[in-house]
């Protein structure tokens, strides 16, 4: 049982880290054009519901996992909203469709 608990905590760290790496990438590149706002809203809603479930079931590890993934998803939603009007150029295109330059 101790091994299973350890594996669960490692999974929480890995899952939460993946979201934090996405946050860092957005922070550095300021690019959110390929990210779906609806997808992240649905993720946040689902994680929020599961936080309530974990609280009701009194499952500490499940609650920590849900909070550890819910918070970064909220940050990503904020980044998408904040950067959605930013101006990007695609260096591979001869003419940028956004600005025609």
pLDDT digits (tens, 9 = 90+) for 44-86: 999 999 999 999 999 999 999 999 999 999 999 999 999 887 7
Q: Where are the alpha helices (DSSP H) in 58-95?
A: 60-83
Query: pTM of the prediction?
Result: 0.82
The full set of domain ranges for the chain reads: 2-83
> Residue 33: what pLDDT?
82
Residue 44: CB atoms within 10 Å: 18
Contact residues for 53 (Cβ-Cβ < 8 A; gap 6+): 62
Residue 67: CB atoms within 10 Å: 17
CA distance 6 to 15: 14
CA distance 9 to 20: 16
Fold of 2-83: Monooxygenase (1.20.1280)
CA distance 25 to 28: 5
Q: What is the pLDDT of residues 26-48, one digit of tens each?
A: 888 888 888 999 999 999 999 99
Joined together, the tokens standing for residue 22 give 């996405």
Contact residues for 5 (Cβ-Cβ < 8 A; gap 6+): 61
């Amino acid at each position: 049982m101790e091994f299973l608990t350890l594996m669960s905590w490692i999974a929480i760290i890995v899952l939460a880290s993946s979201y934090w790496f996405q946050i860092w990438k957005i922070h550095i590149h300021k690019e959110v054009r390929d990210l779906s706002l609806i997808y992240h809203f649905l993720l946040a809603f689902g994680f929020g519901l599961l936080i309530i479930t974990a609280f009701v079931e009194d499952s500490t590890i499940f609650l920590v996992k849900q909070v550890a993934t819910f918070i970064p998803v909220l940050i990503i939603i904020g980044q998408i909203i904040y950067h959605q009007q930013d101006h990007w150029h695609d260096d591979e295109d001869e003419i940028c469709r956004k600005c025609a330059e």
